[in-house]
Amino acid sequence: MCAVIDYSSGVPVYRQVANAIRDDITAGRYRPGAWLPSEAQLAQMYEVGRDTVREALAYLRAEGKITTVRKRGSMVAAEVTREAHHVPPGARVIARMPTPDERRDLATSVELREFGGIPEGVPVFEIFPGARKHRKVLRGDQVELVIDPPENK
């Protein structure tokens, strides 16, 4: 059963749709790897416009709950265990979207086959540890950055 959208709640409609889809994912109605209904079907289910559905899907993609494949739709993302990555004091970290080469280089073989690279919407962290060390580029959906405290001298 679809959630009823409450236009007087003060919560943006796209967030209500995203919350309802997330609840369905959490409840197991949509399992990891399962395709969600199409944008048109979701719009009909929630009685909202397709632009609202697109905003809701973008929100869920940003949370890492779903991935989207052009011309195919959106699927529930697999559960990912994040690995801690320690960042030394004084390092610079930039969060950004990956280049096409990085999307390919950082992807798993399944992602390369299914999506052509890292799924759309997955950011990367670019870490510049210091003047003499090379930068690192890490997937934002697989790491948790841990900022190391400065050394006491």
User: What is the spatial distance between Cα 21 and Cα 111, in angstroms, rounded to a whole number?
Assistant: 23
For the entire predicted model, the pTM comes to 0.63
Q: Would you state the pLDDT for residue 115? A: 66
DSSP 8-state symbol, 29? S
Q: Which residues contact 15 (CB under 8 A, 6 or more apart)?
A: 56, 59
Domain boundaries of the chain, sorted by first residue: 13-76, 83-147
Q: Would you state the pLDDT for residue 131? A: 65
User: What is the spatial distance between Cα 145 and Cα 84, in angstroms, rounded to a whole number?
Assistant: 6
DSSP-derived secondary structure for 106-128: T--HHHHHHHSSSPTT--EEEEE
DSSP 8-state symbol, 28? T
Q: Would you state the pLDDT for residue 49? A: 96
Task: Decide if 15 contacts 58 (C-beta within 8 A).
Answer: no
Domain at 13-76, CATH class: mainly alpha
Could you report the per-residue pLDDT of 82-134, keeping only the tens digit for each? 889 898 888 889 999 998 888 888 887 777 776 667 777 788 899 988 766 68
Q: Would you state the pLDDT for residue 106? A: 84
pLDDT higher at 74 or 114: 74
Taking 70 as the threshold, does the pLDDT of residue 27 lie above it? yes
What's the mean pLDDT when you consider all of the chain? 87
